[in-house]
Amino acid sequence: MPISGFPEWLPAQRIIEQRVIDRIRSTFELYGFAPLETRSVEPLPTLLSKGETSKEVYLLHRLQGAPDEASGDDQLGLHFDLTVPFARYVVENAGKLVFPFRRYQIQKVWRGERPQEGRYREFLQADIDVVNRDNLPFHYDTEMPLVIGDALSGLPIPAARIQVNNRKVCEGFYRGLGLTDTEQVLRTVDKLDKIGPARVAEQIVETAGASEAQAAACLDLAAISAEDASFVDAVRKLGVEDPLLDEGLEELVRVVETAREHAPGLVAAELKIARGLDYYTGTVYETQLRGYERFGSVCSGGRYDNLASSGKDRFPGVGISIGVSRMLGVLFGQQALSVSRSVPTCVLVALPHEEQRVACDRIAASLRRRGIPTEVAPTAAKFGKQIQYADRRGIPYVWFPGADGEPDSVKDIRSGDQVSADAASWQPPAEDLHPVVSGA
């Protein structure tokens, strides 16, 4: 019985997912990120200290556990993202790591959200982060979108548009307006796409002690968008001044202008982007697929200066995460991705008689040694039925062992072409060797 929010892909979809993961992983490694996997659980106090997540955390306890196991500081929860466990890992292993430390992590996470298209309670994320001891140079903030743009541009998916903002811009602006509870304003502005500007303005007044004029100014800031540095002039026209605002604008310009130079059209400044998690302190990212904007962000992250610390040591970082399951769930739901076959098999070796299975296994082994995915027919049925079996599974080639001294032959069952072949040298066309993923 299916459980809502816990996706189980069909084989064809799983092949697509693995191809996507392969592309993402190879791109991350191309940029020098090292692989890492952390445990699935964290102490509950650690999970609850990083933002408004208490409603989303899944708790872990034994069915027959003692009553005191279900409460207290020792209680464990499944991680809801990969950044919090990564920060904990850095602190615990700081003496063994070389800084700045660049890592990627492709792993499942769990979040108690209301399931809907593209949103799950168990899902796969692919993260990259760079952390350093004491101070992290800002150029890493400008690198993050370029890595993601590179990874996603190599996939048969709609073009990505990475929206960036800087929390210093927002917090400095709110301070300049005279507002003190800047975190509450940020959390409220983050709901813009969900509840609309009118309701956001009401909540800023209700929860952050703002006047209607101050709330209106917050919305004016959130409405600013640009693909170049012109957003700075738009902010200045609002007439608000604050040193933190100046610092944030300068940083945001660097991110946007760097992307314009290396990947035109990839990045745009969107001053409504806030990100719901409290640990972000500067640059924040959200990514939408063009034509799929209504489904929201499929890749997000940001700068965090205070998430990881131990005594006098501080480990600031910046990271960004691709919601692999979220992105694929949306594209699967819109039939926007397909694969040429639902099995890896390229060749089916036909079985004339059960007594010849050992000989057919040898043929298959010879093909496999040269990297050709091969299987032997399950039964010695009539050749027509064996061809039908291959056709149903999408296997493009059927191999026929030679009889009475005749050479072997291989048949392309799509075209009907059949030629003599030697298992030690025959090679299929490159496009047939493995399943090919394509977009709609």
118-155 pLDDT, tens digit each = 789 999 999 999 999 999 999 999 999 999 999 999 99
Q: Coil, strand, or helix at residue 285?
A: strand
Which phi and psi (to 5°) does residue 74 adopt?
A: -85, -5
pLDDT at 236: 96
pLDDT tens column, 76-100: 999 999 988 999 999 999 999 999 9
* Residue 49 pLDDT greater than 90, yes or no: no
pLDDT at 387: 97
pLDDT tens column, 147-184: 999 999 999 999 999 999 999 999 999 999 999 888 88
Structure tokens that stand for 398 in this block: 């059927």
pLDDT at 70: 57
pLDDT tens column, 239-279: 999 999 999 999 999 999 999 999 999 999 999 998 766 78
pLDDT at 68: 62
pLDDT at 71: 60
* Residue 45 pLDDT greater than 60, yes or no: yes
Q: Residues near 3 by Cβ (< 8 Å), separated by ≥ 6?
A: none
Residue 178, beta-bridge partner list:
none
* Residue 238 pLDDT greater than 80, yes or no: yes
Q: Reduced to 3 DSSP states, what percent helix, strand and coil does the chain have, rounded to the nearest 5? A: 40, 20, 40
d(CA 111, CA 123): 8
Give the pLDDT mean for 301-320: 90
pLDDT-based confidence at 228, cuts 50/70/90?
A: very high
Q: Could you say which architecture CATH assigns to the domain 11-339?
A: 2-Layer Sandwich (3.30)
pLDDT at 50: 62
Residue 119, beta-bridge partner list:
116
pLDDT-based confidence at 190, cuts 50/70/90?
A: confident
Give the pLDDT mean for 346-370: 97
d(CA 423, CA 184): 68
pLDDT-based confidence at 193, cuts 50/70/90?
A: confident
Query: Between residues 94 and 312, which one has the greater pLDDT?
Result: 94
pLDDT tens column, 386-417: 999 999 999 999 999 998 889 999 999 999 99
* Residue 51 pLDDT greater than 60, yes or no: no
pLDDT at 183: 86
The HSE-up count of residue 153 (CA atoms within 13 Å, CB side) is 12
Q: For domain 347-439, is the CATH number 3.40.50.800?
A: yes
Ordered by start, the domain boundaries in the chain are 11-339, 347-439
Query: Between residues 194 and 438, which one has the greater pLDDT?
Result: 438
Mean pLDDT of all residues in the chain? 92
pLDDT-based confidence at 72, cuts 50/70/90?
A: low
